Amino acid sequence: MKKEDVTETQEEVFFPSPEIVEKALVKDYETLYRKSIENREQFWADEADKLDWFRKWDKVLDDSNKPFYQWYTGGKFNIVANAVDRHVKTWRRNKLALVWEGEPGDTKTYSYHALNREVCKFATVLKSMGVKKGEIVTIYMPQIPELPIAMLACAKLGAAHSVVYGGFSVEALATRIRDANSRVVITADGGYRRGKVVDLKGIVNEALIGAPTVEVCITIRRTGHAVAMESDRDFWFHDLMGLPIATTSCETEVMDAEDPLFILYTSGTTGQPKGLVHTHAGYAVYAATTLQYVFDLREEDRYWCTADPGWITGHSYLVYGPLLLGSTIMMYEGAPNHPYPNRWWQMIEKYGVTILYTSPTGIRGLMRFGEQWPKRHNLSWLRLLGSVGEPINPEAWRWYHRVIGGGRCPIMDTWWQTETGGFVITPLPITPLKPGSATRPFFGHEIAIVDDDGKELPVGQEGNLVLKAPWPGMARTIHGDPDRFKQTYWRQYEKQGWYKAGDSARKDKDGYFWVIGRTDDVIKVSGHRLGTAEIESALVSHPDVAEAAVIGLPHEVKGQAIYCFVILKHGKSGSKELEDKLKIHMDHQLGAIARPEKIDFLDTLPKTRSGKIMRRVLKARALGQDVGDISTLEE
């Protein structure tokens, strides 16, 4: 896109400064993009070559069993050999790997040497507990350094990890442990959030009642509050790490390129969450490549991704991506506005953060306190900003750009998903930006907006977002349910072999993509992906509830908020008191992130003749809109 085109159409476009262009890693998107499409496999081979392999691959892409694509087959690899081991062999041994601050203000820093030492020690401990290749360890922790250490220790041994977000509660955790069949759970006694202790170990203890596969639970002491420990199952992390068996060197397991690195649960259209499987090699290549090009990471950067490692953003761009590139990462345990709404801005100043990657909900949440809070701080180290998780509204974009970025930092609005492993639609620092658009496809991707039959739609028309070609960071399957993987993502465009993202979007005349939102029963609450079905089943598990329907409604800060419609069991009647009780019940079952904004009690729910709840009707009614065609509605 050229500047002249823009003045003609009066569009709001932000061009990068000559200084950014001059220093940028990629100065010409079009040429490299074309190359990456014309010879996709060569592009991904060149990128893979930048990492260390125990043995190079035989084949870059094996597409003989679509849609179960395989990458770098025949290769021997371990992500930890690249994220930690190779750095300690160079001067980076003395570089800061992690700068951490707890909510109460305590701090910890780890050089790559120290990170390696802790990972090795914990890996030997896990090994002594019998942890090995092929098993899935569940990790349920606050944002403390031991969380990435635990992830890396599992990966080092070749065990897959399943990190469950610390904001989830008993039932959500139990379901995920059961699905993963975990024998070992790693947790902490608690964490700090808004000055309060979150009793994680208490939640684990309750969840374990419903997860009988667990034999060992290792607990990190963070808050020091009293917790119940069972003598033959529970171990304190510090006790184990103090044993002579916890040694500072530990072999990194040689893995096949396609061996699983982790599973990460995400919500879909049924109540059962999907455990998406990501692999050691393809995922590592993809996370490192995308982060390098998009955030243009340099040796001297201090990079802060505010996401929790319990979500894919934390996996790819807090833990693995930046460590693969040998960067210094920043991590913070608590709430953005604790004790005051300047907490983040204070930390950016204090640690000299140069790149901030966060979510629109994070920005909106702090924007409402006014610009006097960031204005008190020197944010001049910042050079790049990022956004992820949901579309960023132009008002928040402009505030982020002007107030936080001082008008000089480009915003990388990155569109991607748990399934994609890394950025798919994203600007580069040199890309002219339009507030609210994630701009153009990343290298190697061909993206289209199509109708239900796969016909490409004209410029400006909204339709289904599809990815036409495989990429190394793609999820390989759903743990234990390959059929669901096929059905969910590949079935609709089977003939064409395209991946259906489940998002609705449009493309403008400059080839910029504008993502509108999900087309399925997934809602994004503060950027967190929640399935309406999982929320509904949590509601129905309350003894007074007969049936429930859940929709997402627009919310100023959260993006979307949870709105519930409930039919009570015979003889029960709705009241404010019951609404509050149900909210507490939801906190216990799923976690505070799934707490409904509002619960309405109804006598009937609008259903089709085949018994499907018409959420569209509920939504229109709640928004005071026309309910549209209701000819299929049951009498």
Q: Catalog residues that contact ligand PRX under the rule CB under 6 A.
A: 266, 312-313, 388-391, 413-418, 438, 501-503, 515, 517-518, 524, 529
Looking at the Cβ atoms of 414 and 464, the one nearer to ligand PRX is 414
Looking at the Cβ atoms of 262 and 416, the one nearer to ligand PRX is 416
Distance, in Å, from the CA atom of 367 to the CA atom of 341, rounded to the nearest integer, reads 9
Radius of gyration of the chain (CA): 24
Distance, in Å, from the CA atom of 443 to the CA atom of 33, rounded to the nearest integer, reads 5
Minimum gap (Å) between residue 110 Cβ and ligand PRX: 26
Minimum gap (Å) between residue 100 Cβ and ligand PRX: 22
Under 8 Å between Cβ of 167 and 593:
yes
Under 8 Å between Cβ of 499 and 459:
no
Minimum gap (Å) between residue 445 Cβ and ligand PRX: 14
Distances (CA, A) of 635 to 36, 494, 611, 629: 55, 37, 11, 14
Minimum gap (Å) between residue 473 Cβ and ligand PRX: 11
What pairs with residue 504 in β-bridges? 464, 517
Looking at the Cβ atoms of 190 and 436, the one nearer to ligand PRX is 436
Minimum gap (Å) between residue 413 Cβ and ligand PRX: 5
Looking at the Cβ atoms of 518 and 572, the one nearer to ligand PRX is 518
- Token duo for residue 624: 């005071």
Looking at the Cβ atoms of 480 and 517, the one nearer to ligand PRX is 517
Residue 120: which of 96, 149, 97, 99 has the closest Cα?
A: 149
Minimum gap (Å) between residue 162 Cβ and ligand PRX: 15
Distance, in Å, from the CA atom of 532 to the CA atom of 433, rounded to the nearest integer, reads 33
Looking at the Cβ atoms of 84 and 172, the one nearer to ligand PRX is 172
Looking at the Cβ atoms of 280 and 529, the one nearer to ligand PRX is 529
Distances (CA, A) of 211 to 27, 181, 216, 231: 52, 8, 12, 18
Distance, in Å, from the CA atom of 72 to the CA atom of 391, rounded to the nearest integer, reads 33
Looking at the Cβ atoms of 142 and 391, the one nearer to ligand PRX is 391
Residue 94 is classified by DSSP as G
DSSP 17-46: PHHHHHH-S-S-HHHHHHHHHHTHHHHHHH
Minimum gap (Å) between residue 493 Cβ and ligand PRX: 16
Minimum gap (Å) between residue 192 Cβ and ligand PRX: 24
Where are any strands of DSSP class E within 128-259? Answer: 136-140, 160-163, 184-188, 191-193, 196-198, 216-220, 234-236, 255-256
Looking at the Cβ atoms of 190 and 463, the one nearer to ligand PRX is 463
Minimum gap (Å) between residue 259 Cβ and ligand PRX: 23
Cβ-Cβ contacts under 8 Å for 468 (sequence gap 6 or more): 445, 446, 447, 448, 496, 497, 498, 499
